[in-house]
Structure 1
Amino acid sequence: MVTTTLPRSGQHIAAASAASHLSDGAAAVAEIAAALGSRADLYTVFVSTGYDLEVVGTALKQHFGDRVIGCTSSGNIGPNGYDRTGICAAALAGGGLRARTITVGPLDDTATAVEEAGSALAGLRAELAEDGEGFAVLLTDGLSRNEDLLAANLMATLGDVPIVGGSAGDDLTFAYTAVYHDGKFLANTATVTLVRADAPFRLLRLQHHDPTDTILVATEVDADRRIIREFNGRPAAVAYAEAVGADLADIGPTTFSTHPLLLNAGGSSWIRSIATVNEDRSLSMFARVDTGDVLRLGHPVGMLQKLAERFDAVSAELGSISAVLTFDCILRRLEFEERGLADEVGAFLAKHRAIGFSTYGEQFNGMHMNQTLVAVAFG
């Protein structure tokens, strides 16, 4: 168990974080509850693979009531930095913080699910607008393949309320991911938590890949299944391999993480990461690509430098940082591990009081993306 704590403050959001590696889910939650107490305004909990989720869900309800949000993860971020195992949690209190959560689902009909949740979302938005500033935290099933539509539809419904969040993971087994709500872990479901605070906060997004001049146009896709069949009228995997200067047989996860594809939208670049090469030489993606999308090959630039610069800028804006609720793509951690930087990056995140998890994708306002860190920092 490792715990970091800040005192409660009326002017700022105070935070405490804790992690447990006990193998029994009920005992792990009890250990975290003993460290964090039961008086916080909002708890966030992220659960790595190997736990009985029914047991964990019951324990979370018992200790924290209805003030907890969370999901399964591909590893956690907390007082240990990057942590591939265990349960990690944070407690947020003070600063006029108020939070309300609703579920959205089933996600296999995302448009209808958001429409049916519309009145509840409107009610939460109206309540949020009464006093203070706010944002929405989106946690969603990471295997639904509908995060793109979900984020866009939620942004249309919430209007000017900013959205930040991540897709639940399961340590790259791609078997079962779920979000927590009211004592249960639910698949095919998302939770939307509207948060209001008098204390200052900032939303942030960063990536360490820049677009190159190499262009690949998606000329044939299966958008709903996130498959690109052709780039520039040629088999997608063949065209991609040539673009990165590699033989088709040699491209794989390392190539994909080093050279993702970037889509320009709204004046910004958004990463679209490759999952696998299929037998028919098509590419399966971690985010939606539509026919006609113009993608640029990416290359890594200043991994640690970009992270430090962004956090330093946010810290300067806020005066200091009490906590950073963080959603960080699993592909970033894998790339850091490949380059021997994971311990250094993890230590940096822990130093800056980051708490969160390694995701299967990230959401920022109306966009879903990959290989990105998105977060909300509290002053």
Structure 2
Amino acid sequence: MFDSLYPLFRAGLFQLDAETAHHLSLVSLRAAEKSGALALTCPQNDYGSPVEVMGLKFPNKVGLAAGLDKEGNTIDALGRLGFGFVEIGTITPRPQAGNPKPRLFRLIPHEAIINRMGFNNPGIDAGVANVKASRKFSGVIGFNIGKNKDTPNENAADDYLICLRAAYTVADYIAVNLSSPNTPGLRDLQGAEASARLLDLLKKEQEKLAAEHGKKVPLLFKVAPDLEEQHIADLARVFVDGGLDGVIATNTTLDRHAVAGHAYANEAGGLSGKPVLEKSTRVLASFAHHLEGKAALIGVGGISSVEDAKAKISAGADLVQIYTSFIYQGPKLVREIAQAL
């Protein structure tokens, strides 16, 4: 029933500015889940087949990418829509408001979004508390962590360590965001030397926390789609040598060629949706080649159909994530991909 109502729901939301619609949709999902209405319109069936990756059991291969549920307070409702895993965040040590508005733009003819949100979030302590309050979702929960905007890069590791320690007991995996284009200087941390130093510190802390809590929470790095081949090869070597558990490929792109001519094409921020598919999948395939199966791969970027998801799997992904296409097409796409994979 929800699938048939979604086009009407979306039409109403698209009359509002993008960020207002974003918040209203999450509020509506939480209200529908708490009232039981979501259970009536989206019966909880088994979507797709379970798979084990990084020692974790995923109900299916389709996850929600970071950026939609920044606070981790809508997990139960999103799980009801068919996602096998939900990645919350990006979350930073301290709350921050993000960049000035407007900062979220729909490019409807391209089924794309440009955002320059800037890690607006309530802080890691609130995110942990919200996840602890989630009771019904039986899938995998990932924490996407970042540094605060006013933390200089030379101190970025401190921010990531704070988030790693705080999230460790409630997260199923932790993704380190090095690739958002909306925090000044963040992508500099994707340099091979900088990544190696950060990974070494985080892996040492992961080992300490694993011994303390009796469980290993996998650590992943999220990379950009705007990487050249040599950069990918260098990073892959760092990741393998450092024992990274997984790579999420990719974040949003700064490239505007695919949307040239659109009124929002020159807005600052990261572009997501259909236009990033080819570039993102190229980076994914290159990482798969260089990693040689020594780290898990999550493919994200531009997936808007079953065929796109299968292309990510063929390129080397163990799992896939969607975000922008979920906004444009609704939860039906989640279940279609989960069942097809």
| TM-score bracket relative to the smaller structure | 0.3 to 0.5
Where is the helix percentage greater, Structure 1 or Structure 2? 2
Per chain length, whose mean CA-contact separation is higher, i.e. which structure has more relative contact order (CA < 8 Å, sep 6+)? 1
TM-score by length of structure 2 reads 0.32
TM-score by length of structure 1 reads 0.30
